[in-house]
Amino acid sequence: MVKRFTALKPALLGATLILSGITAPAAFAGPEDEPTGGEMMVDALVARPIGIATTVVGVAAFIVTLPFSALGGNIDKAADKLVLDPGREAFVRCLGCRQSGAPDRFRGQEDDIQ
């Protein structure tokens, strides 16, 4: 009896790990869903500082790699990926939102930012 349970433990552990990673898809969340206060606090205290630090590191990497980007003719792509994308995540995304950019009610102002 003990040997059967010992052989069953890894299977149960694996099933638990696999099933615990399954979450509801984001497609079920509508654009009218507002972030909760907790999500806003975590975003303000954790995600935004990380986003700002990522932007600063991206600016430094962009400056260091600028000669190579110029030789390759892809300065605009390097600027987009290293500076603008992290900057949008840090400064344009609404507080507590999971998706980049502003929610639909701010869509007109976001389209002005390119």
Q: Which residues contact 1 (CB under 8 A, 6 or more apart)?
A: none
> Among residues 59, 51, 50, which one has the least CA distance to residue 79?
59
pLDDT at 8: 63
Q: Where are the domains of the chain?
A: 39-100
pTM of the prediction?
Answer: 0.59
pLDDT at 41: 93
Nearest-angstrom CA–CA distance, 50 and 63? 20
- pLDDT averaged per 10 residues, the chain (length 114): 61 55 47 80 93 96 96 95 93 84 52 54
